[in-house]
Structure formats: C-alpha cells, structure tokens
Amino acid sequence: MSIGTIHGVGLGPGAADLMSVRADRLVRAARHVAYFRKAGRRGHARTIVDGMLRDDVVEFPMDYPVTTEIDFTDPRYNECLSAFYATCTAHILSLVQGGEDVVVLCEGDPFFYGSFMHLHSRLKDHAPVAVVPGITGMSGAWTASGAPITWGDDVLTVAMATLPEDELTRRIAETDALVVMKIGRHLPKLRRAIAAAGREGQAWLIEHAAQAAERVRPLAEVEDAPAPYFSIALIHGQGRRP
C-alpha cells in the first residue's frame, strides 16, 4: 500500500472566503481532517471550515493539554507539550502509513508561529508533507486598520508581547513599523514598552481581524483588561514614498 500525504493547510485569519483555491479544494475533499483546539472548545480552525467538510469525514481534534495554566518558562510546559505533539504525530503517521491522506487545518499560515510547525518537524522525515500557505493574521490586521503597514525602505518588526519589557521597548524604539502578537494578559506591559519608546500615539489594537467581531481602536483608548486571543497591535511605518 502506498503511503499517504500530510497536508498542512493554511486557512487564513478567519473568513472562509480568504482561503486559497488550493486550501478550499483540499479541505472539501479530505477524508481525514485534524485540527488543534483548546479542550472543551470547537476550535477556530474547525469553525472556519464549518459546512465545507464531506459527510463521511473522520475528524481528529488535537486538544492542547495546557495553554496558559503553566508558564512557558516552566520546564513542565515543554515536557507536557512535547508528549502531546508526540501522541498527535503517532496517530497521524499511522493514518498515512496506511495509505490515507490527512489534512491538518492551520489558522493563518502553517509556517508562521503555528502549532503545525511542531508536527512538521516530527513528520517530515517519515512521510510526505505538503504545506499550503495562508494569509496571516497580521496581514488581516493591517488591512483592517485601513492603512499600509510599510512604505519604501521601512523595516517591519514582528515581536511577541511575551518578551521581557526592556527587550520589547528596545525593539519598538528601533523599528519603523511594528506588529505585536500574543498580547493577552501582557497588554499593560506592552503599553509601558510603547510609551517608553515614545510611540504611544502611533499604536493601534486590532481584535478579531477578518472575523465577524473585528474591532479597530487606537491602543490609547483600550482598557487594561487582557486582550482577546485574536489581538494584534500595530504601528504603521511612515517611510519613503513618491
């Protein structure tokens, strides 16, 4: 029996009509579909493809064992997630070794800060793996803001709000254009870093970009409560233009 293929399919930021033609074709034809989700939730990736899956699809939801319950600096965090990814890999590998293709649904782009990367590194030497790129959440965010993120020779920095505050401040101060992800409970720290870099009047917060609940506000007008999971902060570049 020939071996199957694992397809890491980028679904884009949240709207089904922002998927590529290739992604749409693979999702609709898939017999086996896998996707990550928080335990007890349907999962954003699965929600995007609602109504697209064939009637006899076999779903493999991969429930994260931890999300924010253990700090990522705690050794237990990596131990727990490593065991989780190993279990997911073993199941998917058993399917493709039996001749089945498997589509792994990926929010945004599979190779941009996504969980699929951890499967890819474990699977690529044992089975064929194909990746379908997708529109990133940050692209959806700056489109929602209504302004270009970069001009001319602007340097764009993508930073995580989980960085230490002094490192975050330095990177904000040194770049022309900025995208900040993984904000959540780090919003007050991000505010302080942006203020320390002297750029508080330039920052925006985009929530749920390209989704029904999309919201665009100057960061200065946002309350200090934890930001929603799908939140991205932006500072637009102001570089060279004709």
Question: Where do the domains of the chain lie, and which CATH numbers do they carry?
Answer: 6-132 (3.40.1010.10), 137-235 (3.30.950.10)
Structure tokens at 209: 């970009």
Residue holding tokens 């970009």?
209
Binned at pLDDT 50, 70 and 90, residue 77 comes out as confident
Q: Which positions ≥6 away from 8 have C-beta within 8 Å? A: 104, 106, 110, 116, 119, 120, 129, 130, 131, 132
C-alpha to C-alpha distance for 171 and 199, rounded to whole angstroms: 12
How do residues 196-216 score in pLDDT, each as one tens digit?
999 999 999 999 999 999 999
The mean pLDDT value of the chain amounts to 95
Q: Which helix (H) or strand (E) element contains residue 163?
A: none
Structure tokens at 203: 């920052």
How do residues 224-233 score in pLDDT, each as one tens digit?
899 999 999 9
Q: How many CB atoms lie within 10 A of CB 1?
A: 7
Q: How many CB atoms lie within 10 A of CB 200?
A: 16
